[in-house]
Amino acid sequence: MGAGGTGAQLHAHVVKVGCQSDAFVKNALIGMHASCGDLEIAGALFDRRAREDAVAWSAMITGCARRGNISAARELFEECSVKDLVSWNVMITAYSKRGEMAQARELFDRVPERDVVSWNAMISGYVGCGSHMNAMELFEQMQSMGEKPDVVTMLSLLSACANSGDLDVGRRLHFSLSEKFSRTGFTVVLGNALIDMYAKCGSMKSALEVFWVMRDKDVSTWNSIIGGLALHGHVTESIDLFKKMLKQKVRPDEITFVAVLIACSHGGMVAKGREYFNLMQQKYRIEPNVKHYGCMVDMLGRAGLLKEAFEFIDTMKVEPNSVIWRTLLGACRVHGEIELAEHANRQLLKARSDDSGDYVLLSNIYASAGEWLESEKMRKLMDDSGVNKEAGRTVVDGSAKDAMQSFR
């Protein structure tokens, strides 16, 4: 996207009044065009000979990095003789966002001085790559060097705790935030991050405590707490909070209904599940996606309504994926339904699923029914297909696990 009419008019006016040679104005134009992606125009204004003009160099480096041309940004960065902190941070952030943490760390270790933006870029990059230990170690180093974390730092660290299940560190971060926000209370974003962290660490009591003390809540707040309760088996509390959400005139979204349907599935509330599935479409005009359908199949399968689950899949408005068929296959194993299990397995083979669990599930279904020859055939088919069973792995509750991604 370019600078558009306003930017072009502004540039034309600058030329008209004859002040384009002014260094301040010129740098402003370079920054405007570079930030809007007009790198060709910005480059025409940019003078590589102006070695000491850190602002101009920084604008060009930033423009290239934001447009995804990191190689051009790095070339300019290394050529620049006077690098300001903005340029360093832009490059560190660009590499971190791409997951290229070795390159980001190399620049981070070279930067003459750092600010909170530098630290945040590295910490969020490590969290994004799943290197939670590196993120925590860097945070400790940040504190030891006297740099105070800001809200962005804390959000990254809470995400790291949520994904790694580090409840102890999460509690310490919560304590630190409580002291900082003792008068004003948590912002919605921070409160949501705390609820998400506690829910993923399995501490729903703490998640609820945060929820109730939050002065302001948005739909994500409600989704996180309803979903967390549902996933941890607190189905009554989950549904009660959903009802409270509706009473407070908070409009549910598609993620809300994933959470509610998980609660109905885990609680065996088939009638309620059907009711909410219809409510979602008829009152709130939300078209079900594959996660909603998956929750319904899981709910019907858990209740032993396998024929209805199969018929439900047949009426889906979206193409059933491997998770849907795997969910039905898992339910068939629990209830010893061979015929539908064979059909589900055929659909998985059509989808070119090479998951060893699919073969193992059907083999176990045959074995449970005393069909030892068929069971052995499935094991042989697995071997002939070159699929190896992963040690200790089973396929259980596939739809709920897939739906969990909605809350992350």
Q: Supply the pTM of this predicted model.
A: 0.77
Q: Looking at per-residue confidence, does 340 or 381 come out higher?
A: 340
pLDDT at 182 over 60: yes
- Of 108-122, 215-229, 394-408, the range with the lowest mean pLDDT is 394-408
Structure confidence at residue 28 (pLDDT)? 58
Task: Label residue 339 by pLDDT band (50, 70, 90).
Answer: confident
Which residue is associated with the tokens 């409160």? 191
- Tell me the pLDDT tens digit for each residue of 23-61: 545 555 555 556 665 555 555 555 554 555 677 777 778
Q: Which residues of 372-397 are buried (b: 16+ CB within 10 A; e: fewer)?
A: eebbeebbeebeeeebeeeeeeebeb
CATH number, domain 1-113, options 1.25.40, 3.30.450, 1.20.5, 3.30.70: 1.25.40
The string of DSSP letters for 346-396 reads HHHHHTT---HHHHHHHHHHHHHTT-HHHHHHHHHHHHHTTPPPPTT----
- Of 17-21, 62-66, 152-156, 315-319, the range with the lowest mean pLDDT is 17-21
Q: Region 241-261: what's the mean pLDDT?
A: 97
Q: Region 195-222: what's the mean pLDDT?
A: 96
Distance CA 156, CA 162 (A): 10
- Of 116-125, 202-211, 383-392, the range with the lowest mean pLDDT is 383-392
Q: Looking at per-residue confidence, does 283 or 321 come out higher?
A: 283
Q: Region 233-253: what's the mean pLDDT?
A: 97
Q: Region 79-89: what's the mean pLDDT?
A: 86
Mean pLDDT computed over every residue of the chain: 81
- Tell me the pLDDT tens digit for each residue of 105-115: 999 999 999 99
CB of 123 within 8 A of CB of 158? no
Tell me the percentage of the chain whose pLDDT exceeds 90.
Answer: 55
Q: Looking at per-residue confidence, does 70 or 15 come out higher?
A: 70
pLDDT at 370 over 70: no
Structure confidence at residue 226 (pLDDT)? 98
Amino acid found at 365 = I
Structure confidence at residue 357 (pLDDT)? 55
Task: Label residue 126 by pLDDT band (50, 70, 90).
Answer: very high
Tell me the percentage of the chain whose pLDDT exceeds 70.
Answer: 72
Question: Which CATH topology does 288-408 take?
Answer: 1.25.40
Which residue is associated with the tokens 């005393």? 370
Q: Region 82-106: what's the mean pLDDT?
A: 93
Distance CA 79, CA 305 (A): 68
Task: Label residue 285 by pLDDT band (50, 70, 90).
Answer: very high
Task: Label residue 369 by pLDDT band (50, 70, 90).
Answer: very low
- Tell me the pLDDT tens digit for each residue of 6-26: 544 444 434 444 445 545 455
Distance CA 334, CA 364 (A): 10
Structure confidence at residue 15 (pLDDT)? 44
Give me the long-range contacts of 42-51 (CB less than 8 A, separation at least 24): 48/79, 51/80, 51/81, 51/82
Structure confidence at residue 407 (pLDDT)? 53
Q: Looking at per-residue confidence, does 329 or 28 come out higher?
A: 329
Task: Label residue 90 by pLDDT band (50, 70, 90).
Answer: very high
pLDDT at 395 over 90: no
